[in-house]
């Protein structure tokens, strides 16, 4: 049946204005966002192609349509703020600054991947960019997100004796709304005053189940924040400027008050849940309605209208994205498969029995991150 509830809700009731206004955002920032969003889209398109070419195995969940969320949210954070997300994680990794070649090599299961090809599509980690993982079990990242916030606060206040100064952003899909782990995490975050923002990337479907078939109060999921004593806001996630402005304000508040918050981020995935999903549960009209709302197209129009860049300059960025992703695919393809010695590596920090200890992936060695402290 068509998902009428979500569509009709998108129009109103969302946070549209915030203290940061659209005109304040510098042109260079807009162009960077445009590049990042276009990069994610092109990256995902090539992932789909590579999956069909059997270069990518297992599950593959693409982020097409939701680009404004990762890019806008990451822009609202400081680089030192940790983030953690679920399995649809390529977009967050790229938005956070992971080089697409390491991301693609991980997709291909190659040694050059962010996790040496041992994590795969659903498990993107980047210590240099404070990305604490994509996590494959629905909702499992929520207690971890609370734990990251616990740790930043503990470090800042208990160890250093200062004031809590970092915000953790924990992304989840609307499917995770019904997992116990989320509710336990929210309860603990509320109880311990943890500076964590749970961002529900509400694309209306948990796999093929429309949100109102899976969760109560689907039209107003921020009610699920109130019960835990935390602020909840609704944001139109199809507009990166709006995402940034709303999330920037929220991050400032969470940073200042060290209280958790909850965001109903309305978005849409244009593609199936995973590569094997034919999307028979929703109509093509519904998809087209959202495609008309395309966040990249919207940003492009804004850039043109504000005369930040000409059509030709935008075309140049699009071309650069294509080249960059093509280079990433080529690099990933050239990266060798992990050697068999990797099988028993990184299981334990300590060397014992058949286990050979641990070491950082090439990606981090390039960026100079130190090994386990």
Partner 1 sequence: MPISLTMPRLSDTMEAGTVIKWNVKEGDKVRSGDIVADIETDKATMEMQCFDDGTIAKLLVEPGKQVKVGTPIAVIAAKGEDPASVGAPSGSAPAPAAAPAPKAAAPAATSSVPVTPVTPIAPATPSAPATPRAPESNADADGPRMRVSPVARRMAEGEGIDLSSVRGSGPNGRIIKRDILAASANKSAAGASIDTGTKLALRQPTVVAGAPSLFGNGPGERIVALSGMRQTIARRLVESKTSIPHYQVTMRFAMDALMAKRAEMNDAIAALAPDAGVKLSVNDFIVRACAIAMAKHPYINASFGGDHINVHGDVNVGIAISLPEERGGGLVVGVIRNADRKSLRQLSQESKFLAEKARTKGLSMDEMSGSTFTISNLGMFGVEHFTAIINPPNSAILACGAAVEQPVVRNHQLAVGWEMQATLSLDHRVIDGAMAADYLKTLKSLIETPASLTV
Partner 2 sequence: MSEEMRRDARIYLLGEEVAQYNGAYKVSRGMLDEFGPRRVIDMPISESGFAGMAIGSAMMGLRPIVEFMSWSFSLVAADPILNNAPKMLYMSGGQFGCPIVFRGNDGAGGQLGSTHSWCVEGLYSNVPGLKIAIPSNPYDAKGLMKTAIRDDDPVFFLESERLLSIKGEVPEEEYTIPFGKAAIRREGTDCTIVSWGRPVHFAMEAAETLAKEGISCEVIDGRTIRPMDWTTIFASVRKTNACVVVDQSWSFASPGSEVAAQVSEHCFDDLDHPVLRVHSDDVPAPYAQNLEQEMLPNPRKIIAAVKKVTYRA
Does 87 help bind partner 1 (rule: CB under 8 A)?
no
| Site string (67-86) toward partner 2, x via CB under 8 A | ---------------x-x--
Partner whose footprint covers residue 349, from partner 2, partner 1, none (CB < 5 to 8 Å by kind): partner 2
Residue in this structure with the two tokens 């599950």, named with its chain if needed: 59
Q: Which of 278, 353, 354, 368 binds partner 1 (CB under 8 A)?
A: 278
Q: Which range touches partner 1 (CB under 8 A), out of 29-37, 185-193, 224-232, 270-278?
A: 270-278
Q: Are 372 and 349 in contact (CB under 8 A)?
A: yes
- What are the residues whose beta carbons fall under 8 Å from the beta carbon of 161, sequence distance 6 or more? none
Partner whose footprint covers residue 224, from partner 2, partner 1, none (CB < 5 to 8 Å by kind): none
Q: Which range touches partner 2 (CB under 8 A), out of 72-80, 144-152, 197-205, 208-216?
A: 144-152
* Residue number with CB closer to partner 2 (20 or 124): 124
- What are the residues whose beta carbons fall under 8 Å from the beta carbon of 274, sequence distance 6 or more? 59, 60, 61
Does 132 help bind partner 2 (rule: CB under 8 A)?
yes
Contacts to partner 2 from residues 316-355, by CB under 8 A: 345-350, 352-353
Instruction: Report residue 258 as tokens.
Output: 């060290």
Instruction: Report residue 269 as tokens.
Output: 């995935």
| Site string (84-123) toward partner 2, x via CB under 8 A | x----------------------------xxxxxxx---x
Partner whose footprint covers residue 218, from partner 2, partner 1, none (CB < 5 to 8 Å by kind): none
Vertex 15: Cα angle to 181 and 145 (nearest 5): 25
Question: Strand 83-85's sheet: what is its strand order?
Answer: 131-134, 83-85, 168-173, 196-202, 261-266, 231-236
Distance from the first to the final alpha carbon of the chain: 53
Closest-CA residue to 129 (of 359, 367, 361): 367
Partner whose footprint covers residue 278, from partner 1, partner 2, none (CB < 5 to 8 Å by kind): partner 1
Q: Minimum distance between the CB of residue 1 and partner 2, rounded to whole angstroms?
A: 32
Q: Give buried/exposed letters for 254-287 (b at 16+ CB in 10 A, else e).
A: bbeebbbbbbbbbbbbbbbbbbeeebebbeeebb
Instruction: Specify the 3-state DSSP secondary structure of 232.
Output: strand
Q: Which of 12, 23, 28, 276 binds partner 1 (CB under 8 A)?
A: 276
| Site string (21-60) toward partner 1, x via CB under 8 A | ------------------------xx-xx-xxxx--xxx-
Quick count: other Cβ atoms within 10 Å of Cβ 230? 22
Positions that interact with partner 2 (CB under 8 A): 82, 84, 113-119, 123, 125-127, 132-133, 135, 137, 140, 142-152, 154-155, 157-159, 180-181, 183-185, 187-188, 191-192, 345-350, 352-353, 358-361, 364, 369, 371-373
């Amino acid at each position: 049946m068509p998902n009428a509830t979500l569509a009709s809700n998108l129009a109103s009731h969302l946070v549209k204005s915030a203290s940061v206004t659209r005109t304040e955002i510098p042109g260079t920032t807009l162009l960077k966002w445009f590049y990042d969003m276009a990069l994610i889209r092109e990256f995902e398109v090539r992932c789909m192609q590579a999956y069909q070419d059997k270069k990518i195995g297992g599950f593959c969940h693409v982020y097409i349509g939701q680009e404004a969320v990762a890019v806008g949210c990451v822009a609202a954070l400081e680089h030192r703020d940790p983030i953690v997300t679920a399995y649809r994680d390529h977009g967050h990794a790229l938005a956070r600054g992971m080089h697409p070649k390491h991301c693609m090599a991980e997709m291909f299961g190659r040694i050059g991947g962010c996790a040496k090809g041992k994590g795969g599509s659903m498990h993107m980690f980047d210590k240099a960019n404070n990305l604490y993982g994509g996590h494959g079990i629905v909702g499992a990242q929520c207690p971890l997100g609370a734990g990251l916030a616990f740790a930043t606060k503990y470090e800042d206040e208990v160890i250093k004796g200062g004031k809590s100064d970092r915000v953790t952003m924990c992304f989840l899909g609307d499917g995770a709304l019904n997992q116990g782990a989320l509710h336990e995490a929210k309860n603990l975050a509320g109880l311990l005053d943890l500076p964590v923002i749970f961002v529900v990337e509400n694309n209306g479907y948990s796999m093929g189940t429309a949100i109102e078939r899976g969760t109560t109060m689907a039209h107003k999921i921020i009610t699920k924040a109130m019960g835990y004593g935390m602020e909840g806001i609704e944001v139109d996630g199809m507009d990166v400027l709006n995402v940034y402005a709303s999330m920037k304000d929220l991050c400032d508040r969470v940073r200042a008050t060290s209280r958790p918050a909850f965001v109903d981020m309305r978005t849409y995935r244009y593609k199936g849940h995973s590569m094997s999903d034919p999307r028979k549960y929703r109509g093509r009209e519904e998809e087209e309605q959202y495609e008309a709302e395309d966040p990249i197209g919207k940003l492009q129009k804004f850039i043109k209208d504000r005369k930040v860049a000409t059509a030709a300059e935008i075309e140049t960025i699009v071309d650069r994205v294509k080249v960059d992703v093509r280079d990433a695919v080529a690099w990933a393809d050239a990266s060798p498969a992990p050697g068999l010695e990797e099988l028993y590596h990184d299981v334990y920090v300590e060397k014992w029995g058949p286990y050979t200890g641990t070491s950082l992936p090439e990606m981090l060695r390039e960026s100079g991150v130190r090994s386990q402290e």
